[in-house]
Amino acid sequence: MHLIDVQSGLLANNDAVAAENRGMLAKRGIYAANVMSAPGAGKTSLLERLLPLLAAKFRVAVIEGDIVGSADAERLAKLNLPVEQINTGGACHLDARMVHHAVHEVAHGPAEVLVFENVGNLVCPAEFDLGEDDAVMLLSVTEGHDKPKKYPVMFRRAGLLVVNKVDLLPMCDFDMHAAVSAARDINPGVEVIRTSCRTGEGIAEVAAWFERRIAAKRGRAAPPAKG
Amino acid sequence: MHLIDVQSGLLANNDAVAAENRGMLAKRGIYAANVMSAPGAGKTSLLERLLPLLAAKFRVAVIEGDIVGSADAERLAKLNLPVEQINTGGACHLDARMVHHAVHEVAHGPAEVLVFENVGNLVCPAEFDLGEDDAVMLLSVTEGHDKPKKYPVMFRRAGLLVVNKVDLLPMCDFDMHAAVSAARDINPGVEVIRTSCRTGEGIAEVAAWFERRIAAKRGRAAPPAKG
């Protein structure tokens, strides 16, 4: 956050809009995940592998956040899923207001699952609730095992930590035990799945995690009122 | 940037403090570089290799920016250089005010070269001048060659683009030509050096680049007034 003096007001305002977004999605029983990571950790590559698995069972929509351009949205549009591109115009994260209109459109469409792909950044996206059910973060092994201690807000917020690019582990100094321990020191309940978007390792596990979370949301939803 | 409505005022204020920082450094003839990249691209690893080469010829000081903790400062302190740790308290970048006191201390000490290691972030650090002479950015090949188009402000600002982790090129889909072309589309004058902080490839070239820039600054400085 840039501005300590306006930070609390800004976040309170964001939380109010995020609550509206969450309410719109809840009314339609739509599950939403906010996918975050540093630049180049593999968010789009993960979604290219993951979304076809989810789309076999659910109607999936994507809201894609980038500072400029639509390169990632074009990659994901090849999956024949509805993808809405949001350009943040320089902002280093999505916020609830930026996605509000797109969430409204999704909530009035056929989607059952909504995935936000956030701007590549390990800092600010973690502070801005979009109205999602779960925060999913990627850490690529090439970034180093010291990241949980350096970017604790993101690691604290994640419900799922995807440790990506494990195909490169033999060429890196990455200490998986140290990384996972540090993440769990900050966030004891975080689930951890190791993936390689190159080999496909772990992708089915990530899909299974999403399915469990979608089922949990549906289980939590109030049963329809009886006549 | 978070707040479109206050952005221009915030940056104008930063620029004023950056100008003060630059003036303090200029008065002592101290060259300063601001080293930036995404998290885990190898800023600290580069400095661990580079600073001993520079320290053989110049007195070097470091100002280290992190959101929390002092892990990187502790790594660099092993080089027996003065390292000042700045914790941004959640902010996703250093700004001129945060480093102002530390720059003042450096300007009144023996240093000839000052290196800022910024917070790991490809977005906001590029917008906040600290008072440096040069912006140096790292892109690691594991992040992908699409980054210049997605994070143009950082690539536009860099005087030197260090393409790091080239030892991993055989295992990555990174297209060096595409990355460098895209960077030069945005910033035609940018110098590019390929490095591996693991093998040491390219580090001497980076040191030589710094030496040229330090010499250029000294050449530009007004000659001492004659009696």
pLDDT tens, position by position, B72-81: 999 999 999 9
ipTM of this model? 0.91
> Which residues pair with residue A76 across a beta bridge?
none
Condensed to tens digits (0 to 9), the pLDDT of residues B46-77 reads 999 999 999 999 999 999 999 999 999 999 99
Residue B94 · residue B118 · CB < 8 Å: yes
A207 to chain B, closest Cα gap in Å: 24
Direct distance between the N- and C-terminal alpha carbons of chain B, in angstroms, rounded to an integer? 50
Beta bridge partners of B134: B33
Per the listing, tokens 């030892």 go with: B167
Nearest-Cα distance to chain A for B76, in Å, is 15
Beta-strand (E) ranges in chain A? 31-37, 60-66, 83-87, 113-117, 134-140, 160-164, 191-194
* CB-closest option in B1, B143, B168 to A39: B143
C-alpha A212/C-alpha A222 separation (Å) is 18
pLDDT of A202: 98
State which amino acid sits at residue B6: V
CA A222 centroid distance within chain: 25
pLDDT at B114: 98
Cα atoms found within 13 Å of the Cα of residue A34, Cβ hemisphere only: 29
**CA–CA–CA angle B135, B200, B160 (5° rounding):** 15
**Cβ–Cβ of A121/B122 closer than 8 Å?**
yes
Size of interface A-B (CB pairs under 8 A): 132
Phi first, then psi: give them for residue B132, nearest 5 degrees. Answer: -75, 165
Q: For chain A, what is the largest distance between any 2 Cα atoms, rounded to a whole number of angstroms? A: 63
Contact state of A40 with B39 under an 8 Å Cβ cutoff: no
Question: How do strand B134-140 and strand B31-37 relate by DSSP bridges?
Answer: parallel
Cβ–Cβ of A40/B168 closer than 8 Å?
Answer: no
Which residue's structure tokens are 């351009």?
A69
**From edge to edge, which strands make up the β-sheet containing B160-164?**
B83-87, B60-66, B113-117, B31-37, B134-140, B160-164, B191-194
> Could you give the CA distance from residue B106 to residue B84 in angstroms, rounded to a whole number?
9
Distance between CA A74 and CA A127 in Å, rounded? 27
CB contact under 8 A, B120 and A122: yes
Q: What is the pLDDT of residues B113-169, one digit of tens each?
A: 999 999 999 999 999 999 999 999 999 999 999 999 999 999 999 999 999 999 999
Neighbours of A59 (CB within 10 A): 15
Length of chain A equals 227
In tens digits, what is the pLDDT along chain A, a chain of 227 residues?
344 445 677 888 999 999 999 999 999 999 999 999 999 999 999 999 999 999 999 999 999 999 999 999 999 999 999 999 999 988 999 999 999 999 999 999 999 999 999 999 999 999 999 999 999 999 999 999 999 999 999 999 999 999 999 999 999 999 999 999 999 999 999 999 999 999 999 999 999 999 999 999 988 765 555 54
Q: Interhelix angle for A96-107 vs A4-27, to 10°?
A: 0
* pTM across the whole model: 0.93
Cβ neighbour number for residue B18 with a 10 Å cutoff: 22
Res B1: pLDDT: 38
What kind and span of H or E run contains A210?
Answer: helix A203-220
Q: What is the pLDDT of residue A132?
A: 98
CA separation, residue A193 to residues A43, A136, A223 (Å): 14, 11, 32
Residue B59 is given by DSSP the state: -
Residue A204: left (phi > 0), alpha (psi -120 to 50), or beta?
alpha
Provide the token pair at A96.
Answer: 């609830």
